[in-house]
Structure 1
C-alpha cells in the first residue's frame, strides 16, 4: 500500500506510510521509521494504535537486528500510547516475539521492556496475560526464549496467587536444571533477584537447593554466576541458617577447581562478608580470605588484594586489630613481593588504607616496612599507587617518617622513561606538596617541578604549567614571588624557543593565581620584552598571552604598556603574528571598536 493508494482515506495514511517504510530495502529508513513510532501512535490515537499499529508490528518482526533493537526499546514506553494500564497487555505479543530472537542484545532489550510494562499491569492482568507469557517462554523449544524468561519471574511473582507462585517456582527450578548451559547461566544470574521475592519458607526449601545445584554445575561459567546469587541469599537468611544452608557451598566455591569461580568469590568477598555477618566472617571468611590471597592464580590474588582494606574495615571491631595482625598481614607481606606486578599494584592501591585501621604503633611496626619496600618496587604503577595514597599514613604517623624513602621514589618516577609515568607523578605533586609542607617541598622538590617545564614531551610541559598554578594556589602568592616566578622569568632568555614559549604558558596560568600587582610588576615586563623575539611562534604567543593577562592588570597599564606592543605586533611581517595581535586588540577593545562585554573575563589558555 502506498501513500497515493490511500489518498482517498486519510485515516489509513499513517499506517500505509509505515508499511511502505518498513518494507523498504534501506535499513536506515526502516530504523528511522521505528524510532518515530511514538509520534505515529499519537497521530493514530490509542484505539487505532491497539487495533492496527501493534498487531501490524507483531506480524512483521523479521527485520535487521538494529531495527528490532529500536522496536524493543520503543514498545517499552508505549503504555500510555495504548490507553494505559487497562490495555497494556496488548504490547505483550510483540515483546514476546522479540524476546525469542537470536540476537542477544535484542532479547535483553525486549526483556527490559517487558519488565517495564509489567509494572503497569494489574494483578488480574498479570495472572491472565503476563504469567502465561513467562511460562510459554520458559518452556519454549529454543534456548533463546528460555534464557529470556529468567529475567521475568521476579517482576510478576509477588503479585500473583499462591497457585501460580508454585507453578513459577517449578518453572524456575526447571530452568536451573536445563540441558543447555546458556539457560542455566541465565537462571544463575537471576537467582538472587528471584530469591528476594519468595517467602522465607520457600527460600530455604526450594531456592537454596537451586543455588546448591548451580554452584555445583559442571560448567564453571554457571558456577561463577551462582556466587552473585550467594550474596543476595546470604542477606536474606538468619545467621544460623547461613551457617547451615549456605556456608558449605560457599566453602566449596572458595576451593573451586576453576580460577574463574575463585576470582568471582574474591571479587564479591566484601559483599559476602556483609551478608553473612561478623561471627561467620571470623570463623569462616578470614581463613577463606587467606586462601584467596595465597591463590595459585595471579588474577585471584589481585582481586583479593583489592579487597584487603575493605575486608579489614568490616571486621568485628572488638577483635579487628588482632585478626589483621595475626591472619591478614602475613599474607599481605607475601603479596608485597609477589612475582606478578598486577597483584602488587592492586595491593599498593589499598594497603595505605590499613594505617587508620591499625593505628600509629602497628603502622610503624608492621606497615611502614611494607610501604618502603613498595616505594622501591621495579614497577612504576606500584610506586605511584603508594605515593597517591600517602595521605592515609600522613594522618596517622606524620610524613616525616616516610619522607626519606618517599623522596627517592618520587625522583625516580619523575625521571621515568615512560612519559605517562612522569605525567602521573606531576598530577600527584600538589597533593604531596600539601602533605610534605612548603619547606620540605622547596628543599627537595621545587627544582623537579621546574625541570618538567623543559621536558621534551609537550604533554609533560603542559601539565607542569598547570602544576605550578595549583602549587601557587596551595602555597600562596608570596611563595610564588620568591620560589617560582624568578625561575619562570629566566626561561624567557633560554636559547630553545620551545622553552621560551613554555615561559609564556606559565605566565598565562600564574597571572590569575598571583593577582594584578605581582603580574604587573614581575611578569608583564618579561612578556613585553619577548615581543622582539626572532621566532614568530613566540611573538604570536606573546599576543595571546597579553590578551589573557589584560583580564588581570589594570586598564591604565593596558593602554600605556600593552597597546603599543600589540600595535607593533599588528604590523609584524609574519601573517600569524599580525592575526593574533589583531585578534587580541579586538578582544581588548584597543582597535577603536567598543570594548566587548566579555572584557575582563578569562581567555582560554594558548595551545602550543
Structure 2
C-alpha cells in the first residue's frame, strides 16, 4: 500500500520524473501525496484511499484523510476528481462498518455533500461518477434523512432553468433514487417533477425522462400511475422530436409492466399503435423491436389486438428476407417463445 521500502522515480509527464519516497509510513505518505503539487501523486493517493483507510483505522481516516478528500473534490485534474468519486462507495462502506453510528454521520454529513458538489460538473466522466457515487451513498441513508440530504439537492438541480445538463442529471437521479426515497416522497415530489420534465424545453431532458418512468411507478399506487404518469408518458409518445418518441418506444414495455395486466392494454395500446405508425422510421422501427415484448406483457390471447399479431408475423417474414435486419431478427427470436405462449395454441399455425 502506502508503505514501501525504498525511493524510486515514477514518470508523470514526458520529460518529468516524480521522486517517490517509499520509506514513509502509511499515514505520512498519504498526507504527502494527498497534498502534492504533482497530479500523479494525488492520483496515487486517491487510488489507494480505501486501502489506506483500512490500514490506519477509522479515527485516523476521519481526522486526516477526509479533509484531504474534501479538498480534492476541487482538484484541477479531471482524472483525480473522477477517480475520487469512484471510491466514495467503498469509503462509505468502510466508515459505516468501522463505526455504524459515527460512520453513518460522516457519510450523511460529509461524503454525500461532497459528492453533491460534482453533480453539476461540466466534465461528463466526472459528473457521471458523481451521480453513481451520490446514488450509492443515498442507499446507505435512513429514510428520515433522505428528504433533506438527497431529494432537496436533486430538486435544486431540476430547477436550473439555464442548465440543460443539470436538469438531465436530475432526471437520472430521481429515477435511480426512487426506491431509496420511498413511496411518500415519490408521490409528493418525484412523480410531480417527472411530469414536469415531460414538458421541459430541452428535448434531451424529455428524452431522459422517458427512461425514468418504470422506477418511479414502482413506488406509486396503481391509481397514481394511471392518473398521473400514464398521461405524462403518452405526451412523450407524441413529442415533436423523434428522439423523444424513440426513447418512449424503447421504455414503454418496462413501464407497462408496472401496471396490472388487466389494465395494460387500455393504457398502452393507443401509444403502441401511434408509435408503430409514426412518420419517423427510427421511431416505428424502435416500436417494432419492442412489439414482441409488449405482446408478451399482455399475458393472454384475450388481451391481444389482432393487428399486433399480424404485425409481429410480418416483421418475422420481412426480417428473414432482409439480411440487414439483424437487430429486428434478434428481438423477434428473443420474444418468440413468449409470444407463442401468450397467443395460445390456436395461433400457432400463423407462427410457423
Same fold per TM (> 0.5)?
Answer: yes
Distance 2:245 2:45 in 1: 38
In structure 2, distance between residues paired with 1:366 and 1:187: 46
Q: Shift of residue 222 of structure 1?
A: 2.5
Q: Residue 170 of structure 2 corresponds to which residue in structure 1? A: 226
Aligned residue among 267, 271, 276 for 2:211: 267
Alignment pair present for 1:321 and 2:321? no
Q: 1:355 and 1:197 mapped to 2: Cα distance? A: 38
Against the structure 1 CA distance between its residues 187 and 368, is the aligned structure 2 distance closer, same or farther, given a 3 Å change threshold?
same
| Counterparts of 2:196 and 2:204, CA distance in 1 | 14
1:394 to 336, 340, 347: 340
Q: Answer yes or no: is 1:127 the counterpart of 2:70.
A: no
Aligned equivalents of 1:221 and 1:280: distance in 2?
Answer: 29
The 1:171–1:258 alpha-carbon spacing in structure 2 relative to 1, beyond 3 Å, is same
CA shift at 1:255, angstroms?
2.1
Deviation at 1:332, TM superposition (A): 0.8
| Residue matched to 1:347 | 287
**Partners of 1:278 and 1:114 in 2: CA distance:** 45
Instruction: Name 1:216's counterpart in structure 2.
Output: 159
The aligned residue for residue 295 of structure 1 is: 239
Whether the 8 Å contact between 1:267 and 1:304 is mirrored in structure 2 is yes
Q: 1:265 to 1:89 in 2, by over 3 A?
A: farther
3-state SS of 1:50 partner: coil
Equivalents in 2 of 1:279, 1:397: separation in Å? 28
The separation in 1 between residues aligned to 2:70 and 2:167, in whole angstroms, is 25
Match of 1:371 among 308, 312, 316: 312
Q: Look up the SS of the partner of 1:52 in the other structure.
A: coil
Task: Kindly indicate whether the alpha-carbon contact (under 8 Å) linking 1:92 and 1:114 is maintained by their aligned counterparts in 2.
Answer: no
Match of 2:4, SS state, is helix
Is the aligned partner of 1:192 residue 2:145? no
Matches of 2:23 and 2:228 in 1, distance apart?
55
Could you say which residue in structure 1 is the equivalent of 2:225? 281
**Alignment gaps of 5+ in structure 2:** none
Preserved CA contact (<8 Å) 1:151 1:190: yes
SS in 1 for 2:278: coil
Contact 2:176 2:215 in 1 (8 A): no
Aligned-partner SS, 2:239:
coil
Q: TM-score, normalised by structure 1?
A: 0.46
* Contact 1:192–1:228, Cα closer than 8 Å, also in 2: no
Shift of 1:334: 1.3
1:153 positional shift: 4.6
Equivalent of 2:270, from 330, 336, 352?
330
Is 1:189–1:228's contact at 8 Å kept on the other side of the alignment? no
Conserved 8 A contact 2:186-2:219: no
Aligned counterparts of 1:188 and 1:312: Cα–Cα separation in 2: 27
Work out whether 1:360 is the aligned partner of 2:304: no
Larger radius of gyration: 1
Structure 2 CA distance for aligned equivalents of residues 254 and 272 of structure 1 = 14
State the Cα RMSD in Å. 4.3
**Secondary structure in structure 2 of the residue aligned to 1:206:** helix
Q: In the superposition, relative to structure 1, how do residues 258 and 112 fare at CA in structure 2: closer, same or farther (>3 Å)?
A: farther
CA distance 1:329–1:221, shift in 2 (3 Å): same
Please say if residues 154 and 170 of structure 2, whose CA atoms lie closer than 8 Å, have aligned partners that are also in contact. yes
When residues 364 and 257 of structure 1 are mapped into structure 2, their CA distance, relative to the original with a 3 A threshold, is closer
SS in 2 for 1:349: helix
**Structure 2 vs 1, CA of residues 390 and 146 (structure 1 numbering), >3 Å: closer, same or farther?**
closer
In structure 2, C-alpha distance between the alignment counterparts of 1:386 and 1:62, rounded to whole Å: 48
Task: Indicate which of 240, 249, 256 corresponds to 1:312.
Answer: 256
Asked if the contact 1:305–1:347 (Cα under 8 Å) also holds between the matched residues in 2, the reply is: yes
- Do the aligned partners of 1:235 and 1:276 also contact (CA within 8 Å) in 2? no
The residue number in structure 1 matching 2:13 is 63
CA contact (8 A) 1:99 1:110 kept: no
1:246 and 2:190 are equivalent in the alignment: yes
CA positional deviation for 1:118: 4.5
Structure 1 residue 335: Cα displacement: 1.2
CA offsets per residue over residues 489-512 of structure 1, 9 Å max, x none?
A: xxxxxxxxxxxxxxxxxxxxxxxx
TM-score by length of 2: 0.73
The structure-2 alpha-carbon separation of the partners of 1:111 and 1:299, relative to structure 1 and needing over 3 Å to count, comes to farther
d(CA) in 1 for partners of 2:210 and 2:45?
33
**Deviation, structure 1 residue 236:** 1.4
Q: Partners in 1 of 2:318 and 2:37 — Cα distance? A: 54
Kindly tell me: are residues 304 and 191 of structure 1, through their superposed partners in 2, closer, same or farther at Cα, counting changes over 3 Å?
Answer: same
Aligned pair count reads: 331
Partner in structure 2 of residue 50 of structure 1:
4
Q: 1:192, 1:230 within 8 Å by CA — same for their partners in 2?
A: no
Q: In the superposition, relative to structure 1, how do residues 403 and 135 fare at CA in structure 2: closer, same or farther (>3 Å)?
A: same
Cα offset for 1:171? 4.2
